[in-house]
Each structure stands twice: as structure tokens, then as C-alpha cells.
Amino acid sequence: MFLIDKPDAPQSTIVAAQLSQVQGQAEDLAIEPVMQNFGGMATSRLNRNLRLDKHWSYGTSGQLTNLRGQRAFLVLAPVQTDKTREAMQEVAKEIRGVAGERPLQGEEFNSIMRNMSARLAGRFETLAALESAALTSVNLGLPDDHWASYSAKVRQLNQAQLAQAAAKFVQPDDLVWVVIGDLRKIEAGVRELGWGEVTVLDADGVPVAAK
């Protein structure tokens, strides 16, 4: 875990990340609704927890980066300073949940699958969006019919496939945590979590003790 001091910061920024699977996995399509429901929209699990329910954050996000080659699972959660420790615990809980402790099922599964299809019309309504889709296809080496068959393939996904994808891409034990905030107010609480060695860095990423 790494801490970066930002004196008098009105909030803390929590980052949790891990290296995940490279592009080209059989579960690439199945992980998309999982990530959308986890941290990709206003009513995602992360946002419902930290913003809508607890009011500790203006907004959070969680995603699997969409890159050629090595990808990262990444959570970004800016939260009010006095709830930093508690928010980290909630983020960790949500990550464990998406990794397997709380699989997508029932109405939550049905809702996100409806969302994945319903949002396609708006997703591709501009020329810029179409251009972006074309560039994504080229950059990632997607098949020529990827977008034409996308909706039909998404609708064929089942709960077991989403659970399998989540378990493959999200590994809670491999997370690296970075917390940026006023260390006078948050450092003691973060250390009390006991989540391994804590290193304080300066703004350039250099360990403070080494300066």
C-alpha cells in the first residue's frame, strides 16, 4: 500500500488496482456487463454504496482497461477525508463481491443485461462514437462482425458465464492500493487496516524515507 500526502485536501482519493488478463480472452464479452454493473454507471454497485447510500463520495468508478495487451482492473474512489478508512473497507468488500462473493444473479442480472442492449442506440448515435468503435476494432483486432453481432451475443450470456469471467479478471489478493490525502488525518486509520506494508511517497513517487 502507498500513501501520498496532500495537506489540507478536502477529500481522499482511493485507488485500487491489479494487473489483469491480456486482451483476447474467451470471457472478454462476459466481463463487460460485470464491469458496467460494478463501476461503470451512476447506479453501479460502487456508486450505490459510496455515493447513493452512504454519501461519502460524489462519484466512483471501476473498470477493466480496454487496451491491446496487458490490462488493468482499476477502481477510483474520491471520498470525504473523515471516511477514508471506512470507504477503503467498502471498496474492498465490493471488489470481493464482484470477484465471487456476490455474483450477479436474479433481478440484478436481468437489469444489467437489459441495460447492455438498451444503451447501444445512444452509444453509437454520433459520428465520433462510430469512429471510436472503428478505431477500437482496429486497435484490438476485433472480428469484422464484432459490432454487428454484439447485441445478439450479449443477450446470449448467462449468469454462470458472468461469474466465471469475474473470477478470472478480478483478483482481490493481487490489489495494490494508493491513497492520496491529508496524512495527518488519515494515515493512522489506514495503517490500522493491517493490509500489509505501508510506504509513504512524495508527489513524484519517491519513498519519503529515502529522501
- Checking if the pLDDT of 210 tops 70, the result is no
Contact between 88 and 177 under an 8 Å Cβ cutoff? The reply is yes
Report the pLDDT value the prediction gives residue 167, as an integer from 0 to 100. Answer: 97
pTM of the model: 0.91
Per-residue pLDDT band at 162 (split at 50, 70, 90) = very high
Q: How confident is the model at residue 96 (pLDDT cuts 50, 70, 90)?
A: very high
Label the pairing between strands 176-181 and 2-5: parallel
Residues 6+ apart with CB under 8 A from 99: 166, 167, 170, 171, 172
CA-CA-CA-CA torsion sign (134, 136, 140, 146) = negative
Q: Which domains does the chain have, with CATH numbers?
A: 2-210 (3.30.830.10)
| Residue bearing cell 472478454 | 28
pLDDT for residue 211: 45
Q: State the chain's mean pLDDT as an integer.
A: 93
Q: Are 164 and 30 in contact (CB under 8 A)?
A: yes
